[in-house]
């Protein structure tokens, strides 16, 4: 079977992959939800779900600095990476030796497409279609509230946020929020206090990842920006694709209810 990944690379498979390594936490969660527990031989140290099962799986380092020698020793017949999350140089280096598929996920459509592609590639297409349909049904049933303007912060010092062409911005829109920096071409960039204050911002979201914002940061930002509501949010719900989108939609509903009461 020939498989074309999102970089246009053609990867040849003689049979269904039986030794899979995931280099992305959200893809790891998806693989388990697709029923591929027996095929997963290694994941990154940042892969967290499902909590109990992930504890016993071999770890090959981080998403950017994964251990090439350990991967070589495991002899995988499929490695799954994501363009934005994994180091390009290391990814292409290991791709010279093992079948490696790279996915480019920037919005909900590409996230759904990746679920189906991974399902086909790993021989669980029907499971993938089921998850896709569940996500589609939830999105269609979700009542998006009137949009509030939000700045979504991913880092404290320097203060960093996101542009329009990101999965986060797409998820904000789904949840009912307008990214105040949607005019920016950069995906991730730093902003000053003055820039943020110049925006008509209803809300400032402090994400739990990659920087772990806490209540102390929330209090600090609320003092700095008294005209905006500062809210701590679960970064996984805005950044993880795959089957996590199912949980994200339920989370958005609860988040909207919480914000309405503030």
How far is residue 16's CA from residue 13's CA, in Å, rounded to a whole number?
7
Res 183: pLDDT = 86
Checking phi first, is residue 242 left (phi over 0); if not, alpha (psi -120 to 50) or beta?
left
Share of the chain above pLDDT 90, in %: 85
Res 78: pLDDT = 97
How deeply is 61 buried, as exposed, middle or buried, from its count of CB atoms within 10 A (0-12, 13-18, 19+)?
middle
pLDDT digits (tens, 9 = 90+) for 43-72: 999 999 999 999 999 999 999 999 999 999
Task: Kindly list the domain boundaries of the chain, sorted by start residue.
Answer: 2-138, 148-261
Do 36 and 129 touch, CB atoms closer than 8 A?
Answer: no
Domains 2-138 and 148-261 share a fold: yes
How far is residue 210's CA from residue 43's CA, in Å, rounded to a whole number?
19
Mean pLDDT of the chain: 93
Do 178 and 149 touch, CB atoms closer than 8 A?
Answer: yes
| Residue whose C-alpha is closest to residue 47's, from 72, 82, 78 | 82
3-state secondary structure 89-157: HHHHHHHCCCCEEEECCCCHHHHHHHHHHHHHHHCCHHHHHHHHHHHHHHHHHCCCCCCEEEEEECECC
CATH class belonging to 148-261: alpha beta
In sequence order, the 6+-apart residues with CB closer than 8 A to the CB of 12 are 1, 2, 3, 99
Evaluate if residue 144 carries a pLDDT over 80: no
Do 246 and 135 touch, CB atoms closer than 8 A?
Answer: yes
Evaluate if residue 208 carries a pLDDT over 80: yes
Evaluate if residue 184 carries a pLDDT over 90: no
Q: Within 10 A of 10 (CB to CB), how many other CB atoms are there?
A: 8
- CATH 3.40.50.300 matches 2-138: no
């Amino acid at each position: 079977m020939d498989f074309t990944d999102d970089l246009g690379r053609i990867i040849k498979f003689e049979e269904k992959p039986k030794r899979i390594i995931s280099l992305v936490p959200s893809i790891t969660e998806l693989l388990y939800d697709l029923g591929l527990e027996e095929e997963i031989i290694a994941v990154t140290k940042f892969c967290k779900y499902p909590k109990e099962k992930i504890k016993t799986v071999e770890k090959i380092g981080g998403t950017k600095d994964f251990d090439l020698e350990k991967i070589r020793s495991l002899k995988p017949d499929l490695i799954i990476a994501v363009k934005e999350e994994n180091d390009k140089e290391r990814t292409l280096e290991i791709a010279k030796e093992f079948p490696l598929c790279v996915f480019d996920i920037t919005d909900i459509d590409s996230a759904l497409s990746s679920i189906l592609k991974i399902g086909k590639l790993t021989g669980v297409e029907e499971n993938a279609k089921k998850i896709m349909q569940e996500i589609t049904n939830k999105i269609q049933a979700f009542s998006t509230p009137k949009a509030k303007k939000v700045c979504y912060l991913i880092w404290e010092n320097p203060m960093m946020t996101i542009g329009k062409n990101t999965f986060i911005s797409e998820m904000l829109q789904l949840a009912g929020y307008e990214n105040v920096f949607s005019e920016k071409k950069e995906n991730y960039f730093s902003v000053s206090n003055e820039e943020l204050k110049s925006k008509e911002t209803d809300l400032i979201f402090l994400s739990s990842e990659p920087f772990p914002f806490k209540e102390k940061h929330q209090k600090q930002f609320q003092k700095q920006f008294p005209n905006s509501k500062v809210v701590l949010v679960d970064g996984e719900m805005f950044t993880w694709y795959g089957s996590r989108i199912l949980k994200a939609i339920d989370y958005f509903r609860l988040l909207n209810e919480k914000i309405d009461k503030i």
